[in-house]
Structure 1
């Protein structure tokens, strides 16, 4: 493979978000990788902090105190409809459409209550219990975690 062609590939890739590229032509092959110093810093920072906090005996005391404080908040919720995945919560099928459900609305098992977008896929979330929507626990467009309560129903 000619050096000129390799230089052209490097120039083309430098203007993109691609971090790694491999090209095979017959017996010739080239692998080009970009180093992103910001990604390295981000990846290494979380690994250092938990190691320093975990062995400290003081850290276990606040954790023990925080657990009972969180339990009453969860206990105050009745039945909930939880997110089956990590993603972004949307209350309506499109920005100009009405919300799937409103506080005070009755839902049956299988009724669509919201959408959670995960990896550019829009997943319709259905009620897994019958009841009346007592509270919507997540704001539209807010990120949600796996098993996070989205709605409280009674």
Structure 2
């Protein structure tokens, strides 16, 4: 097919509501598709009342337990987006383990962001009940990291 004809067809359908054009002759076949935006769904008005059905989805039992734990315990959340590390370096022992007693200001973990190692400290005295993130995993701002039982 002639390139000029193809470009002419493209120019002709630009700005129109034509979505697709297809031509075929002895030299070949051409199909031109144009994006005209998302399709709008037209809903015809009816005289019948609209009934909305809502389905209640129950959370699994373990999620409910974690929610109860987070309400019962003090929660340490991530102050930034980054990578969570439990130890100061590979091969070193972790800062804390579940069951450890921590004091206010004690380092619990490191979150690396933009090649900067940010130490996350406990803001209360207590016992580490649950560590919620695995070593080396990415964390989001506000993500729960530790449950600490106040002493």
For the aligned pair, the TM-score class normalised by the smaller chain equals 0.5 to 0.7
Give the TM-score taking structure 1 as reference length: 0.54
Q: Which residue of 1 aligns with 2:85?
A: 90
Partners of 1:73 and 1:100 in 2: CA distance = 23
Structure ranking higher in helix proportion: 1
Name the TM-score, length of structure 2 as normaliser. 0.55
Corresponding position of 1:119: 114
User: What does residue 99 of structure 2 align with?
Assistant: 104
1:45-78 Cα shifts (integer Å, max 9, x gaps): xxx9xxxxxxxxx9xx57x7478x8666323322
- The two structures, once aligned, show a CA RMSD in angstroms of 2.7
If you compute each CA radius of gyration, which structure gives the higher value, 1 or 2? Answer: 2
How far does the alpha carbon of each residue in 1:111-148 deviate from its partner, in whole angstroms, 9 at most, with x for none? 00000001111100000111001111100000111111
Q: State the match for 1:31 in structure 2.
A: none
Structure 2 residues not aligned, in runs of 5+: 1-37, 39-51
| SS in structure 1 of the partner of residue 67 of structure 2 | helix
CA distance in 2, matches of 1:112, 1:135: 16
Range with greater deviation from structure 2 (76-85 or 95-104): 76-85
Aligned to 2:48: none
Q: Unpaired segments of 5 or more residues in structure 1?
A: 1-47, 49-57
